[in-house]
A and B are shown apart, each in its own frame.
Chain A
Amino acid sequence: MARIQRGETELFSELVARYEPALRRVARSRLGRTDWAEDVVQETFLSAFKSRATFDPQYSFRTWLWTILLRHCHAHYHRRQRSVPIEPLGSEAERDLPAQGKPSSGTPLGHLLAKERAEQLELLLAQLSLAQADALRLRFFGGLKFHEIADAMQCSLNTAKNRVRTGLERMAQLLESSHAQTGGCLPHASESNQS
């Protein structure tokens, strides 16, 4: 980033290539639609590029970028919410999109299971508080360290850890209760590993 600030702006494309998949995944999970996620990621990179002169190299570029993304996600979400009802992933809007889950087996069944996992995950994330869900997205989709999550979410390190922890605990509870209610119809993550 320091070199980009010094005028080597063509290097910015390397940063885009490096961070774009993770940013898109987080944005997609946050907004619920791939097209909106792509818009937000583009806005994020655009903002970062425009503001490159204000970036202080003594701080983490990663954190800075994630902070911008979260801000854009927040603004985009509220902007869209006022005009279009947001559907969760797995709805009609996403049906034809490739699954976000791990295409482990390559078979249609494996593909279906992986997609189901991703949909189940998004439904669970939607039931958490926004802060918990964002912390989990940054941790698992963005691969951020806890101190980076804290910086990006502008909270303390302990708060960031606590959000991840309580979010996971809540998700586990929801998984357990949904499993109990459906009598095993909703496959548990660990069960699929065994089968």
Chain B
Amino acid sequence: MNCDQVFDILTRGPFPTGTSCDEHVEAHLNACAECHRLAEALRPALELFQEAVDLEESRDLPGYFCATGPERHSPVLSYAAEYETRPARRRLAVQLPQVRPRVPVAAWRTAAMIAIGVTVGLLLSGGAADRLGLPSLKTGAALPPPPADEKVAISRADWMQLATLPAACYGHKPDHAPRYRLRDDQLLASAKLENLNCCSGCHNAASDSVPSGATRLVAQSCRHCHHESLDRVSFTN
């Protein structure tokens, strides 16, 4: 279900509708910060409309309740279902799932994205790496992957300091968006993630378009928490 379909349903009549599509809409709203923000912003006006329009009269309107629009003809792609079928991995984050698989892009774009990510990583994480005794990214050497049977011990705060998160990630206050309350409060609070935003806060998780430079960087940065390699990290207090 994409953002357009969700907007269509939310503005079609009272929500939840009591139909099977509610689950898909909820899943999308949980995954897409932009739609969630929009839904919250529109809610007062939508409720006023719904209270002002007689429900019975609304049902008499052709196409108001019965037709499901374009989603009837297109398969409902459940982002949540896709997320659940992925290999088990440590889900640090917020209720938002990890970065959506992108559509294929040209090789030079991918290379540029990686270069940007590495550059920002050098700028942001050098100090923390030095303190941890890890190979500094300033030298150009990548963090060596730990052996499969060995975990890297690291404090949560330092883990986050190693993140190549651009400043845009810190502009969001989760207490203003209750759906995005952090799941593991104890873990994440000590990691000082109070103001952390996720990638979908800046671009739609369901969008098929390739994000532009800044948002691409955010998406890249999210892999810091949403990646299989996180399973090989043990967190100290």
Partners in one complex: yes
Chain A contact residues, CB within 8 Å of chain B = 18-19, 21-22, 25, 62, 100-103, 114, 117-118, 120-121, 124, 136, 139-146, 148, 161, 164-165, 168-169, 171-172, 175-176, 188-190, 192-193
Q: List 29 A-B contacts (CB under 8 A).
A: A21-B60, A100-B52, A100-B53, A102-B52, A102-B54, A103-B54, A114-B51, A117-B52, A121-B49, A124-B48, A140-B53, A143-B63, A143-B64, A143-B65, A144-B63, A146-B8, A161-B4, A161-B7, A165-B38, A165-B42, A168-B41, A168-B45, A169-B45, A175-B48, A188-B44, A189-B47, A189-B48, A192-B51, A193-B47
Select which of B7, B42, B51, B63 is within 8 A of A172 by beta carbon: B42
Contact status of A145 and B67, CB under 8 A, knowing A18-B62, A114-B51, A165-B38: yes
Interface size class of B (residues with CB under 8 A): 20 to 34
Q: How far is the CB of B67 from chain A (nearest CB, A)?
A: 7
Chain A residues with Cβ below 8 Å from B119 are: none
User: Are B51 and A102 in touch, CB under 8 angstroms?
Assistant: yes
Cβ of B58 < 8 Å from any Cβ of A? yes
Cβ of B149 < 8 Å from any Cβ of A? no
CA A172 to CA B39, docked complex, whole Å: 11
Chain B residues with Cβ below 8 Å from A141 are: 53
Chain B 1-37, CB-CB to A under 8 Å as 1, else 0, gives 0001001100100000000000000000000000000
Select which of A18, A21, A168 is within 8 A of B46 by beta carbon: A168
CA A146 to CA B53, docked complex, whole Å: 19
CA A62 to CA B47, docked complex, whole Å: 26
